[in-house]
Each structure stands twice: as C-alpha cells, then as structure tokens.
Structure 1
Amino acid sequence: MTSFPHTRRLMQRGIDFLGTEYAVLCGAMSWVSERNLVSAISNAGGFGVIACGAMTPELLDAEITATKALTVKPFGVNLITMHPMLFDLIAVCARHKISHVVLAGGIPPKGSVEAIKDFGGKVLVFAPTLALAKKLLRSGADALVIEGSEAGGHIGPVATSVLAQEFLPELAEDHVVLVAGGIGHGDMIAAYLEMGASGVQLGTAFACASESIAHPLFKKAFFRANARDAVASVQVDPRLPVIPVRALKNKGTEEFTAKQREVAQLLDEGKVDMGEAQLQIEHFWAGALRRAVIDGDVENGSLMAGQSVGMVNTEEPVATIMQRLMDQSEAALAR
C-alpha cells in the first residue's frame, strides 16, 4: 500500500470521518452508483455511495444487501430530500446500520437529520450559500459537500473555485467540508486540500470505470466528449423552479425543454401542484438517465456528465483511477 503521506495528512479529518483510506467520496449517480461501482470504490480505499434516486424502500434494501456482499469497507447512501417516502428510506438505512447518509436535492425536511442521527448515522448535506451551510451544520449535519456548477447532474449556479474560496476559510477549521465539481486530476485535489478541504467528491471520473454497469455506448459518449459538450439545461418557466442539470448535448436535452413546457402548462391549468410538478421533472430525469445508462440510448437518454468529462478517455478499473489521482495529488503537494 502506497502511503501518500502529504495527501493523507491533509485528508486526515476526512479519513477519520469516513473511516476510509482516502477521503474520496463518490458522487451518487443514478443507475451508475449501484452495488458494483460502490463496492469497487470502497474496496479501492474511497467511499462509495449508493444513489437511491427514485428507488422504493424495498429496492434500496436489496441494493444495500447486495453491496454488503461485495465489500466489508464503509459505504453510504444518498437520499433525495423530496422523495415521498424519505422517512421509510431512512428506516431502511437504520436497519442496515448505514454509517453515513447523504441528503441531496434540497433542504432536508424537518426531522430527517434527527432520524438519521437517532440510529447513529452521520449526515452529509449540500448547501448553495454560506448562510444555509452554517444553519445546516448548527442543525445537526455532520459534514458539508460544496458542489460547483462544473459538476454533472443537478447543479447550482456558482463555480467550485468560487465556492471553495467562500466556504473553506469560514468553515474548514471546525467542520468536515468536501469539495466537488469539475475535479478530474489529482493536482486539483491537492489544491482544495491545501485550501482546507477535508476531502473531495468525484462522480464523472468514476462513471466509466470497468466496474461501472453503464452501457458501452454511454461510456463511448464520455470518451468522445470534451468539456464544452457538458452543458447545463435551460429553465423554460421561472415559476417552475427546476434545478439545472449538466449533461452531454443530445436530443434528450431538447426533450427536457419540451417536458418543462408540458409541466408548466399543467401548473397553469391547476392540474398539478408545485410539489407534483417537481416530482414529474425528477421522474423524467430518472427515466431519461436509465435509457442512456442501462439501455445505451445515447441520443434520447440523459448523458449526465461534469465538465471534467474531457479527462475521461478510457475504461479503467476503479483502483487504477484512484491510484493515479493519489499519485498526482502527492506529486503536486511534494512540489
């Protein structure tokens, strides 16, 4: 085992928090972050996270059980805060004694953080503003992920580098803060660690790993793409607060624009309320992502990818990717 002393020293708080060899969290990518990739990342020294997405409690239960059969290392579960069965999903995590739960997609609803902490789980949250981050940490969250607009999937409006400058000086001394969005090279990991981050979260870098079940055509689309191909979705109606999604340009991005118009009209006609409207959008993404990841429909499906996609050029084992990132980080810090 290579020790990477400089990198591990700066990651130590994150390593202690996650219980891993490296404080490298895998972003929860629906349909991609399942038992095979999650266990491979944990086995390689990182922290795999199951993307629950739109799963039912029964499906999540089965996925956790299957992941436990592939690794004895720590892994977590990412839950979407707007899921209508959120507390049932938390109960599944409790039964399995999941050590870390990531709450994503919005402000955690009342009682959710407490429900996780009641069974001894650690809570990771996202926050788009410093004020909200401080509030969530005061309210019981154990760690914060700051994710910039360069990331794939659902994104905020501000670049990772700006968020890091704003959040880390204020929070890093007293809290576990992980940085995400646009990280594809170990030099960038080193830079954020030197700024005070406890670790990093990467998604796009692992999406096309050998252990990823993503369809060969999905992976090929990643290998062909460059940073400019990963574009953010456009909001059609300001009354419909759709969180932008970054994905590779294709017919699917155009279909999403049409879907927004359709849902906005249903809102106008009073046929759905805002909560239902947002759920319809989420279900659209879940279906579009499945078409691309599982079925290989790279024209009409959603190819969610971060801007670091241009650095993903070939299919490699997770352990090889992790080793390279740590080698690069260590070399940068040694300089």
Structure 2
Amino acid sequence: MGVNHLFDALSARGNEFLGTRYPIICGAMTWVSEPQLVAAVCNNGCFGCLAGGNAPTDVLQRQIAELTALTDKPFAVNLITIAPAYREHLAMIKDMPVEYIVFAGSFPKEKEVALAKATGARVMCFASTLSIAERMIRFGADAIILEGNEAGGHIGHVSSVVLMQQVLFKVGDQIPVFMAGGISTGRMIADVLMMGAAGVQLGTRFVMTEECRAHANFKAAFRRANARDAIATPQYDSKLPVVAVRALRNKGMDSFGALQLRLLRELEAGTIHRQDAQEEVEKYWMGALRRAVVDGDIDYGSLMAGQSVGMADAILPVRDLIDELVTDASAELERMKMRLNSL
C-alpha cells in the first residue's frame, strides 16, 4: 500500500487508540456487520464493529466467539440503546467482556457507560451536537464518533462539515474524535485527519465489498443509487419522538410513514404507551432491514444507506478497498504538502 510518513503521523493517535494500522472504522450495520466482514476489516489493518442490533443475547455471544476465532485484532461490539434487546445486551457484556463497546442509536446514561467501562472495555459514543459530545465526555467516554446526518441508518440533524467546526475543533484535543457521515474517499480521509480527527468511520462503502454477506439485490440497489436517493425519515409529531433514519426511498419508507401515523392515533386515543410505540418503530426498522439485507426485498425492506452511496459503484475485496483509501489519502497529503511548499 502506498502509505507515506505524513499519513502515518496523522494516523498515530487514532491507531494508538484502536490498536490498528489505519484509523479507519467499519461502522456497525445491523445484519451487515457480521463476523466475516468485521474480521476481514480487522485483519487488513482497520477496525471493525460487530453489530448487536436486536439479536438474541445467545446469538450475539456466538458471534463474538466466532469473530474472536477469525481475528486476533481488536474489534468493537455495538449496542443500540433504543433496541428492544438493549438491556439484555448490556448485561451480557459482564459475562463476555470485549475490548471496545460502541453505544449507538441514542445516547447512553452515565451508569451504562460506567457499567461498560467496569468490564475493562474502552467506550466510544456517538455525538451529533457539542452539548452531547461534552455530556458523553463527562460520562466517561474514551472516544467520540462525530456523525453527520449524511450517514446511513440512525442519524442526527447536522452535517459533518458543521459538526467539524462546532465540535471537532473544540473537543478534538481533549479526546480522540472519529468523523463519520459522508466520508467515502481517501482524499476526504486525508482532509479530515488534517482537521484534527483521530480517524474516520465508513459504512456504506464497506457494504460494497466481497466479504459483506448482504444480498446481491441490496448491493445492486446501492450501485444504482445517487446521493440524493438516500433520504431521511421525517418525525411527524413530537408526541412520538423517533430517531431519523437515512435510507434509499422505496415502498418500505412509505410504509414507515403510515406506521408513524397509526401509532400517533393510538397515542392520542390512549391505547398505547409512548415507550411501546417507540419500540414498535425500532422493531419495524429491524425487521425491514433484515428483509432487505438478508432476503433481498428491496421494495419493502429498508435500504439503509448514507449519501456516499452515490460513490459506491463497485464491489471490491475489503483489502482492495482499504488499499484504495490509504493510498489515495497518502497521495492527497503529498499534494497538500507540495501546494504549501510552493507558496
């Protein structure tokens, strides 16, 4: 791989934290980030996150054991705070400790961060505003994943470019910050590292790899899509707070709108509690995502994708994707150096 000393120098902080050769995280994608893909990412010098999703606890335990057999490199387990199985997953890590825990979906409570850290794990938390980043740091997070709303799956409301200015520039010296959302090329990775990020997280591009077991229909939908096809779901009423989800527009997205309206009517009638309604929303996404990723139903399944899907045109081996990213990042840093030296 064409890696130069500039890339190595800017990557040092992230690599030290993650125990990697390259500070590139493959984000946890439910039904996608399974042991085979995560191991391939880790074995090729980057960092993979095993998706907890809403898997039964015994299934997640088996996946952790399988992944441990496939790689001796560090990896994370992703726990979704708004998933129905979250409490069981959180309790499970006491009996089956892992080196890194990533809290996702929403934001963990302080005692939940403490519980994870008590196992010896390093904790990574998402942030979508400065106040949330500062709260996660107070709670004891060891690193922040700063995710812009260009990302796929559950998202916040602010773009990566704004978050870099509002958050990365203010807390990046205190704690490792990994940028996520809309990052798809080595050139962008170089630019983000120059801005002070410890590393980056990508998701959509790792879907388009040979080691990813997602259905061929799912990958074909990604290949056809443009950036504007990945849209965010609306929240119709504050009575039913839902975390926005970015996915490719299809009939399944329309069905989610109908589900929200039905649940709002039930909330108004008093026939359902808000927590139960929110759980129904998450169960919908879990089921719809499985239909797309596993069964190949691209009409009614959920095609969760970031806006970088418009740059995910080819299916590559994980090794080749990582080679492309780090080679292009190194080349971009050399270009920057030459431009500065010419001034």
Shorter-chain TM-score: what band? over 0.9
Q: Is the 8 A contact 1:60 1:92 kept in 2?
A: no
Partner amino acid, structure 2, of 1:38: V
The TM-score normalised by the length of structure 1 is: 0.97
Whole-angstrom CA distance in 2 between matches of 1:263 and 1:65: 39
Is this contact kept in 2: 1:237–1:261, CA < 8 A?
no
Aligned position for 1:131:
131
2:340 — aligned with what? none
Following the alignment from structure 1 to structure 2, what is the Cα–Cα distance between the partners of residues 174 and 58?
Answer: 37
CA-to-aligned-CA distance 1:111-136 (integer Å, 9 cap, x gap): 11111111110110112221221121
Q: Measured at CA, do residues 275 and 306 of structure 1 come closer, stay the same or move farther in structure 2, by a change above 3 Å?
A: same
Q: Supply the distance in 1 between the matched residues of 2:93 and 2:23 (Cα, whole angstroms).
A: 22
Q: Is the 8 A contact 2:82 2:282 kept in 1?
A: no
Q: Deviations over 1:233-285 (max 9, x none)?
A: 12222321111111111111101101111111221222222221111101000
Cross-structure match for 1:40: 40
Deviation at 1:312, TM superposition (A): 0.8
Following the alignment from structure 2 to structure 1, what is the Cα–Cα distance between the partners of residues 272 and 122?
35
Percent identity for Structure 1 against Structure 2 = 47
Task: Quote the Cα distance in structure 2 between the aligned partners of 1:184 and 1:127.
Answer: 20
Shift of 1:3: 4.2
Structure 2 SS opposite 1:238: coil
Match of 1:59 in 2: 59
Normalising by structure 2, what TM-score? 0.94
Superimposed CA distance per residue, residues 37-63 of structure 1 (whole angstroms, 9 cap, x where no aligned partner): 111111111111011111121111011
After TM superposition, the structure 1 = structure 2 runs for residues 235-314 of structure 1, keeping only pairs within 5 Å, are 235-314=235-314
Structure 2 SS opposite 1:50: strand
User: How many Å apart are 1:94 and its aligned residue?
Assistant: 3.6
What is the RMSD computed on CA atoms of the aligned residues?
A: 1.3
Contact kept in structure 1, 2:130 and 2:166, CA below 8 Å: yes
Distance in 2 (CA, whole Å) between partners of 1:313 and 1:44 is: 21
Deviation at 1:2, TM superposition (A): 5.1
Alpha-carbon deviation of 1:102? 0.4
Cα distance in 2 between the residues matched to 1:273 and 1:107: 21
Check the 8 A contact 1:232/1:245 in 2, yes or no. yes
Note the C-alpha offset of 1:97: 2.9
Deviation per CA, 1:44-94: give whole Å up to 9, x if none: 111110111111211110111111121111111110113455343234334
Quick one: distance in 1 between partners of 2:66 and 2:130?
Answer: 37
Q: Tell me the matched-pair count.
A: 335
Unaligned runs of 5+ in 2: 336-343
Distance 1:90 1:241 in 2: 23
Tell me, in whole angstroms, the C-alpha distance in 2 between the residues paired with 1:41 and 1:295.
24
Alpha-carbon spacing, 1:308–1:193, altered in 2? closer, same or farther (3 Å): same
